Amino acid sequence: MKKYFSLFRYEMKTILKEPMNLFMVFYPFLMLFLTGFLLPAILERTADPDAPATRITLLISFVITLAIGGYASGVLLGFSLLENKDEKTLLNIAVSPVRVSGYTLFKILYCFVIGIISNLVLLGGMILIAKDSYVIGTPLGPIGLLDPFGWGEVLVFSVVSGMFGPTIGLILPMIAKNKIEGFALMKSGGIIVMIPALALLPAFQDGKQYLLGIVPIFWPVKALLNLSLGSVNPADLNYWGYMAIAAGYQVLIAFVCFRIFIKKIELR
């Protein structure tokens, strides 16, 4: 256990000295400011609350807020592993008692915890500071997007969505050769967090919504989106159905990526 405490201190020092890693740690707080304070303030001063454009803007912002927490922790993990590759840290770890597989699992675990905290900050923070701002007009009357959520739903979502971090974090160093390529992939890969927003389109309201399920973050976001909008579409699963698929799918992907990553660097 002592060796893992030493590793944790080393990892925290690495995060604090690397600007990109430090930025990703505080990224959820920045997003909370943008989506919880800035965007509602701009819409309140410049747009009609009942206009379709306002409704669409709030919905897209809501979906991105749900999807970004796990992605941010995944980027943090991915860059950390790429840094280990660039600095040949893994070669030193290979001959230590921890071993590369144990070290990688340790990094996955603490980035998973960061992902949970990020989601709690984003979704929980939105509920605390912007609940009255995320209200959209519908033919049946106004709907508060954040009204249906209790802290139980917030916690379950945070844990399940946090699993997206290890998935992204292991895929990134598998594809990128160094941190420069990783940065390019991070920028282009950001489109992934927009894919769950496609579930808002009429074309994806029926069974075709499951085509979006190839992206793991779709499942937990869709669960909260249905709960938020009070969806009664017969093609939808219940809340726990989406969450169960999300958890199982992400664990499977992370396990496969972990095995490939360890095999690819040819270290045991």
**What would the pLDDT profile of 49-95 be if each residue is shown by its tens digit?**
667 778 888 888 888 888 888 888 888 888 878 877 776 666 666 55
Q: Which of 9-18, 35-44, 99-108, 148-157 ranks highest by mean pLDDT?
A: 148-157
Q: What is the spatial distance between Cα 259 and Cα 39, in angstroms, rounded to a whole number?
A: 42
159-168, 175-184, 188-197, 223-232: lowest mean pLDDT where?
Answer: 175-184
DSSP code for 195? G
Question: In a 3-state reduction of DSSP, which class is residue 135?
Answer: strand
Please, what is the average pLDDT of the chain? 83
Q: Is the pLDDT of residue 263 over 70?
A: yes
Contact indicator for 171, 257 with CB cutoff of 8 Å:
yes
Question: In a 3-state reduction of DSSP, which class is residue 146?
Answer: coil
> In this structure, what token pair is assigned to residue 256?
């496969």
Tokens 């598998």 appear where? 174
Predicted TM-score (pTM) of this structure:
0.87
| Confidence at residue 102, expressed as pLDDT on a 0 to 100 scale | 77
Q: What is the spatial distance between Cα 71 and Cα 74, in angstroms, rounded to a whole number?
A: 5
268 pLDDT band, cuts 50/70/90, is very low
Tokens 């594809």 appear where? 175
Tokens 């600007």 appear where? 19
Alpha helices (runs of H) in the chain, residue ranges in sequence order: 2-17, 19-33, 39-46, 52-86, 89-94, 99-119, 125-129, 151-162, 164-175, 179-189, 218-229, 239-264
Contacts of 234 (CB under 8 A, 6+ apart): none
Tokens 């396990």 appear where? 255
In whole angstroms, how large is the CA radius of gyration of the chain?
Answer: 20
pLDDT digit string, tens, across residues 93-127: 655 666 777 788 888 888 898 889 999 999 999 99
